[in-house]
């Protein structure tokens, strides 16, 4: 009996120990299905680098660092199962907080993805933490590391979690979990020991997951800075005394050795025999070193275009340069540029014809029919709008009969549009100058002595006419590429009637 009790106690102890072990950490195999690799590409489709991310929405919404997608032309998302998805839209984001949420193009509309649980409270100092990301190389996808929450502090723009869970380049945008398997932070950066003095000591940082609630809307397919778009440049030489003996240096970095030269013709950009690379806009220095003679070609290059450039090196030799060792820098992806379709849309649809109704405060308030013709300038940031309005209103009194009221208005508006012109809503202010004419037609009966009238006469008079300067505030809603709805309100002063007047326009327009 005693032995049976001991056996039962040992079994219970084993089960309890196993349960405690299971509770001491998250189920890595389960949660890492929601963590992905973010592959970043330039305009030519070249892989520039990668980051990490994770699903927070079963419909395909993910989180990563802002700096992972900043200035990236295209991105693909690789899941744990090896499937690749294209980035669809960046939904929200903030560069200072260094977070973005984005969606992917799903294989079919109802497709669902595994998601992580979001922690609702900050972790405590000293609590266990697990980081999952893809350090160094995409082949090392979803590498977990364990550490502690070393500290929590409030930065200038966000709450930061310091951890000694290992994080290296490529892990940016990955998830930091607590022991319950809830995401507590987005792994973002670490302190490198470049001087070799031991200061690194696993000083890694994650952004508190609660910062997602602060992110403003972006709703773009890319986030970019045109000034940072790298430009394709092809260097070639027109003189070569010894084959395969001339090396190219750009800004002190070795770029390769020329395999041929072009003495009688100019090559195409990227042609074999050239040394082709991507350079940032601005000023660069280059030199070509000919080893056999110890001579160089030196020159300067200023880049201020997005088009591919050809740069020939034909100067006579000068002095031997001091070749410098190229040290790879931290990954800095190229910037997002507008698509060809977006550029065409902003140069193709410069006219807008609109029609609708205006609610106008006149002597007799009415709703005139309105027609607008608008011409856009400078990529739809400014426009001139010509308009005409007409209203006919009938009224009837007992003996004095007001047959009708005719209202005419002609004018021009100058609009300044402020909102990002790739968003669905565009807000604007406008200054307008209208000429308004208000005509009334009356008929009045003629009475005889017994009080019975036999006939009537008609007369017209101008109730008022004058010029109306006004200030307008409104917005445009792009329903479709060519179809849009605009509404605005104006306040002005009518010089003819000497009273302030207000109106509201509701217009449906067609772009061409």
Each residue of 334-371: pLDDT tens digit? 444 445 555 555 556 788 898 887 887 765 566 777 88
What are 157-182's pLDDT values in tens digits? 899 999 998 887 778 999 999 999 99
Pairing state of beta strands 309-313 and 231-237? parallel
Report the C-alpha gap between 131 and 165 in whole angstroms: 6
pLDDT for 182 equals 95
pLDDT for 318 equals 46
Confidence band, pLDDT 50/70/90 cuts, at residue 17: very low
Residues pairing with 432 in the sheet: 413, 470
Report the C-alpha gap between 335 and 71 in whole angstroms: 3
Report the C-alpha gap between 163 and 178 in whole angstroms: 12
pLDDT for 124 equals 93
pLDDT for 53 equals 95
Give the helix/strand (H/E) hosting 21. helix 2-23
Confidence band, pLDDT 50/70/90 cuts, at residue 427: confident
pLDDT for 337 equals 47
496 vs 78, residue with greater confidence: 78
79 vs 439, residue with greater confidence: 79
Residues pairing with 144 in the sheet: 132
pLDDT for 77 equals 94
pLDDT for 36 equals 95
In the chain, count of helices (H) and strands (E)? 4, 29
Most confident residue range from 310-314, 411-415, 441-445: 411-415
Report the C-alpha gap between 246 and 324 in whole angstroms: 16
Report the C-alpha gap between 243 and 225 in whole angstroms: 41
Residue-averaged pLDDT of the chain: 79
The residue-averaged pLDDT of 500-508 equals 86
The residue-averaged pLDDT of 403-413 equals 81
Confidence band, pLDDT 50/70/90 cuts, at residue 505: confident
Residue 117 has, within 13 A of its CA and on its CB side, a CA count of 13
Complete DSSP assignment for 51-80: EEEEEEETTTEEEE-HHHHBT-SEEEEE-T
pLDDT for 155 equals 83
The most distant pair of C-alpha atoms in the chain lies apart, rounded to whole Å, by 134
**Please, are residues 231 and 309 in contact by the beta-carbon 8 Å criterion?**
yes
Spell out the alpha helix ranges (H) of 407-499.
none
Confidence band, pLDDT 50/70/90 cuts, at residue 243: very low
- Tabulate helix, strand, coil % of the chain (nearest 5): 10, 50, 40
Report the C-alpha gap between 337 and 222 in whole angstroms: 8
Domains and CATH numbers, the chain: 24-223 (2.40.10.120), 226-313 (2.60.40.10), 343-511 (2.40.160.20)
510 vs 61, residue with greater confidence: 61
Q: Provide the whole-model pTM.
A: 0.45
Q: Among 385, 408, 364, which Cα is nearest to 488's?
A: 385
* Collapsed DSSP state (helix, strand, coil) of residue 19: helix
Confidence band, pLDDT 50/70/90 cuts, at residue 247: confident
Confidence band, pLDDT 50/70/90 cuts, at residue 239: low
N residues, the chain: 512
pLDDT for 347 equals 59
The structure tokens 């200061």 sit at: 199
pLDDT for 22 equals 42
Residue 194 has pLDDT above 70, yes or no: no
Confidence band, pLDDT 50/70/90 cuts, at residue 210: very high
The residue-averaged pLDDT of 181-208 equals 76
Q: Among 34, 124, 11, 148, which Cα is nearest to 81's?
A: 34
Confidence band, pLDDT 50/70/90 cuts, at residue 291: confident
Residue 147 has pLDDT above 60, yes or no: yes
461 vs 164, residue with greater confidence: 164
Residue 441 has pLDDT above 50, yes or no: yes
The rounded percent of the chain whose pLDDT value lies above 90 is 27
Residue 226, Cβ neighbours under 10 Å: how many?
A: 12
Report the C-alpha gap between 141 and 171 in whole angstroms: 9
68 vs 356, residue with greater confidence: 68
């Amino acid at each position: 009996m005693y032995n049976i009790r001991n056996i039962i106690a040992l079994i219970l102890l084993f089960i309890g120990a196993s349960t405690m072990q299971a509770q001491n950490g998250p189920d890595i195999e389960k949660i890492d299905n929601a963590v992905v690799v973010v592959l970043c590409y330039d305009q030519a489709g070249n892989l520039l680098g990668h980051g990490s991310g994770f699903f927070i929405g079963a419909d395909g919404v993910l989180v990563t660092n802002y700096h992972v997608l900043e200035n990236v032309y295209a991105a693909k998302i690789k899941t744990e199962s090896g499937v690749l998805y294209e980035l669809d839209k960046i939904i929200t984001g903030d560069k200072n907080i260094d977070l973005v949420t984005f969606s992917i193009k799903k294989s079919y509309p109802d497709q669902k993805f595994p998601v992580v649980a979001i922690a609702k409270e900050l972790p405590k100092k000293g609590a266990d933490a697990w980081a999952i990301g893809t350090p160094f190389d995409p082949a090392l996808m979803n590498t977990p590391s364990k550490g502690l929450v070393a500290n929590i502090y409030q930065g200038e723009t966000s709450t930061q979690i310091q951890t000694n869970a290992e994080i290296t380049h490529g892990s940016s945008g990955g998830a930091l979990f607590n022991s319950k398997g809830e995401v507590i932070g987005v792994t973002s950066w670490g302190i490198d020991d470049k001087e070799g003095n031991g200061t690194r000591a696993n000083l890694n940082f994650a952004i508190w997951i609660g910062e997602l609630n602060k992110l403003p809307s972006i709703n773009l397919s890319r986030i970019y800075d045109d000034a940072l778009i790298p430009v394709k440049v092809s260097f070639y030489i027109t003189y070569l005394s010894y084959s395969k003996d001339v090396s190219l240096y750009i800004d002190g970095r070795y770029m390769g050795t020329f395999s041929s030269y072009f003495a009688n013709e100019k090559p195409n950009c990227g042609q074999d025999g050239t040394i082709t690379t991507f350079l940032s806009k601005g000023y660069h220095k280059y030199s070509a070193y000919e080893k056999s003679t110890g001579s160089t070609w030196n020159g300067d290059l200023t880049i201020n275009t997005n088009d591919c450039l050809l740069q020939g090196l034909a100067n006579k030799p000068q002095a031997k340069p001091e070749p410098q060792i190229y040290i790879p820098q931290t990954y800095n992806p190229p910037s997002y540029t507008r698509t060809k379709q977006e550029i065409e849309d902003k140069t193709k649809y410069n006219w807008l014809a609109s029609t609708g109704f205006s609610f106008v405060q006149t002597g007799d308030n009415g709703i005139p029919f309105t027609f607008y013709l608008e011409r856009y300038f400078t990529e739809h940031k400014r426009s001139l709008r010509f308009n005409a309005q007409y209203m006919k209103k009938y009224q009837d009194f007992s003996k004095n009969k007001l047959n009708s009221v005719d209202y005419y208005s002609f004018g021009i508006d100058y609009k300044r549009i402020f909102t990002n012109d790739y968003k669905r809503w565009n807000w604007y202010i406008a200054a307008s100058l209208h000429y308004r004419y208000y005509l009334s037609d009356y008929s009045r009966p003629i009475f005889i002595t017994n009080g019975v009238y036999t006939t009537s006469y008609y007369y017209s008079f101008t109730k008022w006419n004058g010029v109306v300067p006004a200030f307008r505030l409104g917005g445009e809603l792009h329903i479709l590429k060519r179809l849009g709805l605009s509404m605005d309100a104006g306040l002005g002063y009518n010089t003819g009637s000497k009273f302030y007047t207000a109106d509201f326009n509701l217009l449906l327009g067609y772009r061409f």
